Chains A and B, each alone.
Chain A
Amino acid sequence: MIELTNPLLLAVILINFFTLGSARLGACIRVVALQGALLALLPLATHGMSGHALILGAGALLLKGIFIPTLLLRAIREVRIRREVEPIIGFVPTLIIGALTTAGAFIFADFLPLIAEHHEGFYVPTALATIFTGFLLLITRRKAITQILGYLLLENGIFIFGVLLSAAMPLMVEAGVLLDLLVGVFVMGIVLNQINREFSTLNTERLSALKE
């Protein structure tokens, strides 16, 4: 089990770095899709070929790997933006912060009171690192679409942790959670379009009329 999951999880971490370092939105969306697809394999690699794992993996693949990225790609085509320009913190500094938090996540996970069989796998550190990366994207980027990507990374990180506990989440609830994610991103996509129509840009610093 460990042999297959660790490379998977390492690939997930590499993708985190890619999203932090790349300015091209199309590429970012595609690698987040790839991350979603890799995560879809995770339940199978962890729990073997059980029905629950199969359905969970298929659902994650459909939503995280195909549906949501298609939605986002269509959105950037419609609003004609390609690049994330002038992030609030530059690409290199965010990469460094990302590397530091990832290292921190690995060290921190060693101190967590995990049960014995979860100590050797990379699940918990990867989950933490992906959650941090999501937060970093949410904080440091100006484009609304990159913020959605940050939210997706955050959800991916939680998904990794959730795979350890898939017994706690019955299929119906799991399906509902994924559905919520899909509809949430769909609604965000609609709002994205409206932002673009109204402001002719997706830069969220324009959304600053409401303050004290």
Chain B
Amino acid sequence: MLEVLILFPIAIAALSLVTSHYQFRSWLLPISSGLHLLLSVLLAIGWFPATGEWIGLDALSRLVLITTSLLFFGCAIYAVGYLDIRRDRGNKVMVPCLLIFLSAMTLAIVARHLGLIWMAVEATTISSAPLIYFNRNRLSIEATWKYLLICSVGIALAMLGILFIAYSALGGGSPVCLHLDTLLSNATTLSRPWLHAGFVFLLVGFGTKMGLAPLHTWKPDAYGEAPGLVGALLAGGLTSVAFLAILRGVQLMTAAGSGDLARQALLGMGMFSLLLAAIFMVRQPDIKRLLAYSSVEHMGILAIGVGIGGMATFGAMLHLINNALTKGGLFLAAGNIQRAYNSKNISEIRGAMVTLPISGTLFLAGFLAITGSPPFGPFISEFTILRGIFGSDRMVIGMLVLLFLAIVFIGMGATILTATQGEPAEEPPQFQDRILLYISPLCFMLLILLIGVYIPEPIQAALHQAAALLEVHP
């Protein structure tokens, strides 16, 4: 059944290439991603068997799969409305690329072989490059080139890391194999130096893709120039997929008894990401670049959560869902605001809540959510991570995280309040809120609110299982 989940988006991508009806092509997106979501949920609750040597679901991939699929479904509904008002650009590239992107992400999530994971992640880079180039101007070329080159080189380093891990099996005398399950069960026999080097390269490579500082340089450009819905998919979906790939490395290191080293590396990069994001978010005039730096910040929080371990790992798992949905909502709302003002700079955006009552309000609510204000979901997850940090007696790290979060709140607040509050300029904008363009961010925000208030028992259990996978000691 997992094969179907990976292959049918490609089949629909092929169908979208031969069909000539514009609206039908757009509607293929929500239809196929709705089906994808339905199948993913059925797979996740164990309706179909989903284990295998090459592809299979475990607690971690189940979590990421549902999150990504849900995010993609929301973005696909938004895409119908978006492509309708962007008929000048056409959808002949956008629709098939989005579907291939979905397929590649799914494969990267469910793959149980390190080489297969690599291949799928690289495929996501390639299939998302045309999406970033959607607007076809000088700035989007620059962003696409940087994205393509930096991520490809980063991913190439991840390949080197994977080969090092394979070599560690050779050095330890066990047969060379990159199947995750085999590696995990033979983990104690792996040669340590090669395994450690492999993990570092894996972290650098997939960390580039995830956007951990100092490897995040493509992120503000790509997120800033891509359409809002692509930004949402990259910031919420792709980063989670890359994070999952890093978590596979953590799993392996933990099983081999070097989990502490992996955690320290993650913690270091996470703190640095938080610091860098905080610096660049203060006085950031561009709302989409602001969101990109916020994404760097939240990747840092995820890394810190796993780096601390224990309760913080549970927090990180919850934060993965929260980050994906909130970022999705924020980017979609920011896309609407950009359309209304024909700018993404706060020198021209004023009073978005008056101009676009729904998108503007959602943008403001998204800001409150992502900076960890109650009663939204990220508050719970960030609070859990902070409790984990202080619970493990790391006062200095805890204080620093709090300080950075405060700076981020102030920096982000200054820009977003300027954009949403106040009186708009005199001439009425051509763009008004329309249902297809605000229903998805609205649902995302409602879900985030729901998570903040109440997490259903099965989801809590799933989160605990996912966190437990990262905590297994030999």
Contacts and interface: CB of A to CB of B under 8 A. Distances in A.
Contacts of A177: 115, 118-119, 122, 159
Given A177-B115, A187-B130, A199-B138, A210 B143 contact: yes
Contacts of B177: 167-168
B163 A168 contact: yes
B13 to A, nearest CB: 14
B59 interface: no
Nearest to A177: B119
A167 B142 CA distance: 39
A154 B205 CA distance: 13
Contact of A204 (B118, B145, B156): B145
B178 interface: yes
Contacts of A167: 175-177
Contact of A207 (B141, B166, B170): B141
Contacts of A188: 148-149, 152
A151 B115 contact: no
Contact of B152 (A151, A168, A204): A151
Contacts of B119: 173, 176-177, 180
B257 interface: no
B138 A113 contact: no
B297 interface: no
Interface residues of B, number: 47
Contacts, number: 114
Interface in B154-183: 156, 159-160, 163, 166-167, 169-171, 175-178
Interface stretch (B218-226, B412-420, B458-466): B218-226
Given A114-B171, A183-B123, A207-B145, 17 more contacts: A154-B156, A161-B160, A162-B163, A165-B166, A165-B167, A176-B116, A176-B119, A177-B119, A191-B144, A194-B133, A194-B136, A195-B145, A207-B141, A209-B138, A210-B221, A210-B225, A212-B220
29 contacts: A114-B171, A115-B171, A155-B156, A158-B156, A158-B160, A158-B163, A167-B176, A168-B163, A169-B166, A169-B178, A170-B115, A173-B115, A173-B119, A174-B115, A176-B115, A177-B119, A180-B119, A180-B122, A180-B123, A180-B126, A184-B125, A187-B126, A191-B129, A191-B141, A191-B148, A194-B136, A194-B141, A195-B145, A212-B220
